[in-house]
Amino acid sequence: MTQSEGGVLFMTSALCLFTYGVLLAGPIIDKMGVKMSMILGLACYGFAKFLLIFVDTRTQLTVVMVTVLPFGASIVFPCTMLGVKKLTYESGRP
């Protein structure tokens, strides 16, 4: 894989992360709650990282990098912020 192809794949993955975050993460977190959404997001993210161990072709890499990995990350990061906001006092957040 050339640097240009890697850059395009990284950019596509970031675009998917943003898209999943805008379209899917909010409704999922609202419906399931922070705790269950965090579990779902971490499971998807961990599963995607596990799948990356066994990737042999560019097609497999692309599929993992634009589906499961950004989906899990798009749920984990907002849940982390919401969890910190819910579980800490105003003075202890920084």
User: What was the pLDDT predicted at 53?
Assistant: 95
In angstroms, rounded to a whole number, what is the distance separating the alpha carbons of residues 55 and 90? 44
User: What is the rounded CA–CA span in Å between residue 71 and residue 60?
Assistant: 16
Separation between Cα atoms, residue 94 and residue 82, nearest integer Å: 14
Tokens 């906001």 belong to which residue?
85
Per-residue model confidence (pLDDT) at position 1: 84
Q: How far apart are CA 81 and CA 14, in angstroms?
A: 19
The ranges assigned to domains in the chain are: 9-85
Alpha-carbon distance of 58 to 22, in angstroms, equals 27
Q: What is the pLDDT along the chain (94 residues), one digit of tens a residue?
A: 899 999 999 999 999 999 999 999 999 999 999 999 999 999 999 999 999 999 999 999 999 999 999 999 999 999 998 888 888 887 776 6
- Given this model, what pLDDT does residue 3 score? 94
